[in-house]
Amino acid sequence: SITPLRAAKGGAVSILSVLKDFGNFRAVDDVSIEIRPNEFFTLLGPSGCGKTTLLRMLAGFEAPSDDKILLDGTDISMLPPNKRPINTVFQNYALFPHMTVAENIGFGLKMLGKSAAEISSSVEEMLRLVRLENAGNRSVTQLSGGQQQRIALARALAPKPKLLLLDEPLSALDLKLRKSMQIELKRLQQETEITFIFVTHDQEEALTMSDRIAVLNGGKVLQIGSAPDIYEHPADRFVAGFIGETNFLEGDLMSSADGVGTVALRCGPVVEALTAKSVASSGAVTIVVRPEHLELVAPGSPQAVDATVEQIVYFGTDTHVHARLSDGTALTIRQQNRPGPKEGIAVGRTIGVTIPPRVAQILKD
Ligand code: ATP
C-alpha cells in the first residue's frame, strides 16, 4: 500500500560551485554538494550562514549569482519555481486559512489541472500518510500547531515532488511536539522515498534525522558527512564546537601512524588520539574530546589531569560536571547516571580526569 505514494524515481541534486552575492556581501560562497536520491539531507549552521539562501535557490525563489544546480542531471537554475518538481514546507506552515484541510492539501494538484476524482483520492492518501484521516472537512484554523504542520507536509507531498525542501519546519513547535515530529518526518521521508533537504540551526535535530549533514558557516561548506562522521570526526574547530558539547585541549604531536597520533598535552597526560590524514606529523595541535568520553578517577592517578569541580548539572539520564584545570582550561565531563550516591563529586572538590586511548580527535588547524 506504500508503493503509490512514492515519487517518480530520481531526486539526485548536484549543487555545483554555487555563489550568491547580495551587493558586496557573499551569502553563499562556492558551495558544492551532491545529494543522493531518497536521501534525508540537512543543511546545518548558525543564523546567517546562508542555508536559507541556498534552499531558496533550490526552490527557484532566488537566482544563483553564478553556476549551476542540477536535478537528476538537468540544469534547473533558470526554471521558475512552479516549473520545478520541488515543493517547500515553511516554518510558519503558510496554510490557506479560508480553505478546509482537504482543500489545502488538494491545492497543488488543482493547480496542476488534476481531475476532482484524482484530487480526492490523493487527499485521502495524504491524510492517511500524516495520520489525520478524519480531518479533511475541518477548517485549518481549528487545528493545533502540530496538526497544521502535518497538513502543510501533506500539501507539499501531494503532487509527489522529486524534492521536498523544509525550512526550519519544526521551530515553531514546543519541545515535546518537536521531538515527535522529528520521528514523524523521518518516517514520511522513508515511506515516500522523496529526497528531503532540511534546513536547521539545531544540531540535535540534524543528528537525529539526517542520512547526511552539510555544516555551513559564513556561506561555506565546512564538512559533509553522516551524523556519526560529523560528531565523532569533526573536520575543524568550528564543526566540533557547533555539533554537541566538546572539550578542546592543546598539546604537541610526538608521532603518528595509521590514523593514530601520540599527543603530549600541555596539562600533563600523554594521549593516543585519532588523526585525519592531513594532519602534520609533529608540532602544536588541538585535540577535541567529547564530555561522555572523559573518565573520572582519583586525583593524582597516573595519566590523569587534576581539576576542580565548579558546577554539577543533573539531567536525569546523565550528569554534567564542569571543572577547571590549574591552567584555567574548562573541562566538561558527562557521566551516565546510575542509582545511588555520586561519590567524590562536589563543587570545590579536586577530581582526576583521564582520556581513554583513541577517543579524542586531533584537529587540523
Ligand atoms: P537564518 O537561520 O537566520 O535564516 P540563514 O543561515 O538561513 O540564517 P540566510 O537567510 O541564508 O542565512 O542569509 C545569509 C546572509 O545573507 C545573511 O547575512 C543575510 O543577512 C544575507 N541576506 C539574505 N537575504 C538577503 C537579501 N535579500 N539582501 C541582502 N542580504 C541578504
- C-beta of 20 in contact with ligand 1 (< 6 A): no
- 285: domain CATH number is 2.40.50.140
Q: Is the CB of 122 under 6 A from ligand 1?
A: no
Query: Is residue 231 domain-shared with residue 254, that is, in the same domain?
Result: no
Query: Both 205 and 281 in a single domain?
Result: no
CATH of residue 79 = 3.40.50.300
Is the Cβ–Cβ distance between 96 and 106 less than 8 Å?
no
- Tell me if 285 sits within 8 A of 269, measured CB to CB: no
Q: Give residue 122's domain range.
A: 3-237
Domain boundary at 221, 237, 253, which? 237
Q: Looking at the structure, tell me whether residues 162 and 20 fall in a common domain.
A: yes
Question: Closest residue (by CA) to atom 31 of ligand 1?
Answer: 22
Distance (Å, whole) CA 106 – CA 127: 11
pLDDT of res. 3: 39
The residues with which 256 forms a beta bridge, in sequence order, are 261
* 198 and 58 co-located in one domain: yes
| 215 within 8 A of 222, measured Cβ to Cβ | yes
- CA 289, 294, 299 angle in degrees (round to 5)? 130
Chain mean position to CA 278: 25
| C-alpha 302: how far from chain center | 39
Find out whether the beta carbon of 214 lies less than 6 Å from any atom of ligand 1.
no
Where a domain ends, among 237, 253, 281? 237
Nine-digit cell at 326? 590549574
Any atom of ligand 1 within 6 Å of the Cβ of 22: yes
Q: Measured in angstroms, how far is the CA atom of residue 12 from the centroid of ligand 1?
A: 25
Q: What percent of the chain has pLDDT over 70?
A: 95
- 205 and 85 within one domain: yes
Distance CA 266, CA 144 (A): 55
**pLDDT of 93:** 76
User: Is residue 164 domain-shared with residue 272, that is, in the same domain?
Assistant: no
Residue type, 227: A
| 36 in the same domain as 172 | yes
Q: Assign 3-class secondary structure to 186-240.
A: HHHHHHHCCEEEEEECCHHHHHHHCCEEEEEECCEEEEEECHHHHHHCCCCHHHH
Pair 116, 211 in one domain: yes
Residue 328 and residue 268 share a domain: yes
Looking at the structure, do residues 227 and 256 belong to the same domain, yes or no? no
Both 227 and 261 in one domain: the answer is: no
Indicate the number of domains in the chain.
2
Q: Which of 42, 52, 171 to mutate for ligand 1's pocket (most ligand atoms within 8 Å of CB)?
A: 52
Ligand 1 center from residue 218 Cα (angstroms): 10
Q: pTM here? A: 0.89
Mind listing the pLDDT tens digit of every residue in the chain (365 residues)?
A: 333 344 456 799 999 999 999 999 999 999 999 999 999 999 999 999 999 999 999 999 988 887 789 999 999 988 899 899 999 998 877 899 899 999 999 998 998 899 999 999 999 999 998 889 888 889 998 898 889 989 999 999 999 999 999 999 988 888 888 898 899 899 999 999 999 999 999 999 999 999 999 999 999 999 999 999 999 999 899 999 999 889 999 999 999 888 899 999 999 999 999 987 666 667 899 999 999 999 999 999 999 999 999 999 998 899 999 999 999 999 999 999 888 776 778 999 999 999 999 999 998 76
ipTM over 0.90: yes
The whole-number pLDDT of residue 8 equals 52
Distances (CA, A) of 100 to 93, 118, 153, 156, 351: 14, 18, 15, 15, 62
Q: Is the CB of 201 under 6 A from ligand 1?
A: yes
- Pocket test of ligand 1: the residue of 43, 47, 49, 53 to mutate, having most ligand atoms within 8 Å of its CB, is 53
190 and 279 co-located in one domain: no
